[in-house]
Structure 1
Amino acid sequence: MNSKLEEQPIIEVQNVSKAFGGLQVINNCSIQVAKGSVTGMIGPNGAGKSTLFNIIAGTLPEDSGQVLMEGRDITHETPDQLFHQGLLRTFQIAHEFSHMTALENLMMVPPRQEGENLFSTWLKPSLVRQQEEEVRQRALEVIDFINLGHVKNELAGNLSGGQKKLLELGRTMMTDAKVVLLDEIAAGVNRTLLVDLVKNIERLNQEMGYTFLVIEHDMDMIARLCDPVIVLAQGEVMMEGSIEEVRNNPEVVEAYFGKVD
C-alpha cells in the first residue's frame, strides 16, 4: 500500500441514511476513504455494506446525507457520470459480455470511441482504425498484466469464475480510474486465482495509484490488502482500525458470532 496518503479523503460519506419500507438499512452513516488507500469494509450479513456501496456508486438514491468525491458533491450523479470521473464499481457476480472474447470485453470499455459514431465511420475511417488499434494495444497490455493472455481469444462466457473476476478488474484499467469499489471479488474464486487477484489489486494500488474500497468476507484477503478496515453493523459504523484492532475488538466478535457466555 502507498505510505503517503493525501489528507483530503477521495471519498467521503456524510450522515447518509437509507430505509426500505420500515427497515432502516443505513442509519446516519459517515465514512472516509483516503486517497491511495485500500480500505476494507466488513460486517455481518444485513449490515448495509452493499446498500452503502450502491449509494456511493450512484445506483441507489439516499434518503438523506451526501457523498463527496475529492471534496465535490456527487450525491445525485448517475453511474455513467461517475464512470467518466473515475469512480467504478465491480460486482460479486462478474458482468462480462459472454459472447465476446476476453480481449473484446476490454476493448469495449473506453468511452467516446470514434467507431461508435456513424458519421466518423463514414468520414474519418483512418481515425477510427487508428483509435481501434490504440485501444487494442492497450487491451493487450492489460490482459497480459492480469495474466489472462492465454485466454484472450476465448469467449468470456467460457472463462472460469475467477478469470471473469480478473477480467472485470482488467476492465477498470481500460479507463482513467481513480476509485474502484470491489464487492466481494473473492466470492467463488479458487485460491490460485485469488492470489492473482490480490497481487493485481496491490499492483494497481502501488504502481498506478488506484484507491480501493473493498467489501469482503474473506478475512485473509482483508488482512493482506486493507488498512484501514471499517466495520458496519446495523447500518452504522461500529469501529475503524487495523485488521488486528478489528479482530481483537469484542464488540466486533459479538456482532459476527453472537454473545458468548
Structure 2
Amino acid sequence: MTNIIDVKNVSKSFGHLKVINDCSIAVEEGSITGLIGPNGAGKSTLFNIIAGAFPADAGSIHFAGEDITHIPANQLFHKGLLRTFQIAHEFSHMSALENLMMVPGDQSGESLFNAWFKPGLVRSEELAVRQKALDVIDFLSLGHVKNELAGNLSGGQKKLLELGRTMMADPKVVLLDEIAAGVNRTLLQDLIANIQRLNKELGYTFLVIEHDMDMIAKLCNPVIVLAQGSVMVQGTIEEIQNNEEVVEAYFGTEAH
C-alpha cells in the first residue's frame, strides 16, 4: 500500500509547552486509520498541523507525494485534504441543502461579470451543484431535513451534514475530529456506516481522532496511539487494547 500522508519528525511548541515532539505517522491510501490517546496527547494539534491550520516548528508533511509542510488550509482543500471539527461549523440560517451547495469553490456565479453577461453558464453550474448536493443528501439519508435550517438539526444530523460537506469537495483524505461527540447511538451507527461506504465505494481515506473506542474498533485499522506528543504504539485495535503501556497511559498505574 502507498502512504498518502507521511508526517516525519514533526514538532510543535506553544511558548514553552512542547505539544508535538518529533512525531512521525503514516496513513495508507484507502485506509481508515485511528488516532487515539489520552487528553493532552496532542491529537488535535497534530490534525491542525496536517490540515495546514498550524505551522510545524520542525519536520515535514507529505500528501500524495507532495511536500505540503508550509501549505495553508485553503490550498490543501483544493488538493483534496479536508477536515471536520469536534463542533460542527454549519451555516445555521441556511438549509441543509444550501449548506452543501456553498462548498464548491470558484463557482462562476461568484463573478459579477459572469452574473451579468454569462447567466446561462451560472445557471447551469448552479443546477449541477444542486444535483450533486441532492445526491449527497440521498447518500446520507438526510432527505427529510434537506430544507430544514441547519441550526435546527440535531447534533448527529449536523455531523452527517459536516460529512456531506466534505463529499461536495470530492476529497482524497478526510480528517475526522471527534465526529461521534454529542451523537446519539442510532445516528452514530449511520455515521459509521456512511464512513465505511465512502471508504469502500468512493475510495476515501480517513484519519480519525476519536474517544469512542467502540467506534474505533468498528472502523479503524490500524490504530495509532499518541502520548505526550509522540507515537507510543501502532497496531490493530486488539493489540492496542491489550498493550499495558496504553492502559497505563489512559488510566494510570492503578489500572494494573
Give yes or no for TM over 0.5: yes
User: 128, 131, 143: which one pairs with 1:137?
Assistant: 131
1:21 aligns with 2:15: yes
The superposition leaves residues 171-225 of structure 1 with CA deviations (integer Å, 9 ceiling, x where unpaired) of 1111120000000000000000000000000000000000000000000000000
- Of 200, 222, 228, the residue aligned with 1:228 is 222
Q: Unaligned stretches of 5+ in structure 1?
A: 1-5
Aligned residue in 1 for 2:81? 87
Correspondence for 1:78 among 41, 51, 72? 72
Equivalent-residue separation in structure 2 for 1:153 and 1:18 (angstroms): 43
Counterpart for residue 39 of structure 1: 33
1:125 matched residue in structure 2: 119
1:98 alignment partner in structure 2:
92
How many pairs are equivalent?
255
For residue 67 of structure 1, report the CA deviation from its aligned partner: 0.5
Q: CA RMSD in A?
A: 0.7
Q: Distance in 2 between matches of 1:64 and 1:129?
A: 47
The residue identity in structure 2 corresponding to 1:157 is G
Q: Output the CA distance in 1 between the equivalents of 2:231 and 2:208.
A: 15
2:244 matched to 1:250? yes
> What SS does the corresponding residue of 2:253 show, helix, strand or coil?
coil
Structure 1 runs of 4+ aligned residues shifted over 4 Å read none
1:112 aligned residue? 106
Match of 1:200 in 2: 194
Whole-angstrom distance in 2 between the partners of 1:213 and 1:197:
15
Are 1:162 and 2:156 an aligned pair?
yes
**1: CA distance, partners of 2:113 / 2:41:** 50
- Whole-Å separation in 2 of the counterparts to 1:57 and 1:206: 23
1:6-25 C-alpha deviation (Å, 9 max, x unpaired): 3x310000000011111111
- Percentage of matched positions with identical amino acids: 74
1:213 corresponds to which of 207, 216, 220: 207
Per-residue CA shift, 1:124-172, capped at 9, x if unaligned? 1011111101110110110011111000000000001110000000011
Aligned letter for 1:80?
A: N
Q: Which runs of 5+ in 2 are unaligned?
A: none
